[in-house]
Amino acid sequence: MVIPRMPRREFLARMVGAATGAIAALLGIPAAVFVIGPSQQRTSSDWVPVGPIEEFPLDMPKLVNATVSKQRGWVVEEQELSVFVSTADGSDFVAMSDKCTHLACRVRYVEEIEEADGPGFFCPCHNGIFDADGGIVGGPIPRPLDRLDTKVEEGQLFVREL
């Protein structure tokens, strides 16, 4: 068996090329992960305080506003969060977005809506009607009002987007 001989110059060129490729891979992959990684990250929303629980009246939704910082990749943006909070007993709370599920207009609470047989939420943009629990009553709305998580800590109510 004859092993072909490779000229020294060609052998060295191949070895330098292989070493250069290995070094580029060792440095390049972590650098790419460092640069691209954050842009692929999604941050989950944090709990947002919306007020002491005694400030929420019984059986009457209260609209609260809060500013939420959200990070998307490298960008941190501030968003306004508007939520209707209601409670029947002062200990269990329901939080619903005030954005209509049709085209995101702001809904408003109305104490008496004929179609809802009582109180509900009305969207003035296209006459969308939700009942007091955010359920669909009428108009072009595709789904009930979006709900948020709630929790109480040390007498403070917190909400979190799902």
Q: Report if residue 140 touches ligand FES, rule: CB under 6 A.
A: yes
Task: State how far the Cα of 83 lies from the Cα of 63, in Å rounded to an integer.
Answer: 6
Count of residues touching ligand FES (by CB under 6 A): 11
Q: Report if residue 125 touches ligand FES, rule: CB under 6 A.
A: yes
Q: Which stretch binds ligand FES (CB under 6 A): 5-13, 18-26, 89-97, 122-130?
A: 122-130
CB of 58 to ligand FES, least distance (A): 28
CB of 143 to ligand FES, least distance (A): 12
Task: State how far the Cα of 73 lies from the Cα of 156, in Å rounded to an integer.
Answer: 31
Q: Report if residue 22 touches ligand FES, rule: CB under 6 A.
A: no
Taking CB under 6 A as the criterion, which residues in 54-113 touch ligand FES?
Answer: 100, 102-103, 105
CA distances from 112 to 14, 85, 98, 142 (A): 83, 18, 18, 22
Question: Environment class of residue 70 by beta-carbon count within 10 Å: exposed (0-12), middle (13-18) or buried (19+)?
Answer: middle
Q: Which is nearer to ligand FES, 62 or 102 (CB)?
A: 102
Q: Which is nearer to ligand FES, 83 or 123 (CB)?
A: 123
Question: Environment class of residue 64 by beta-carbon count within 10 Å: exposed (0-12), middle (13-18) or buried (19+)?
Answer: buried
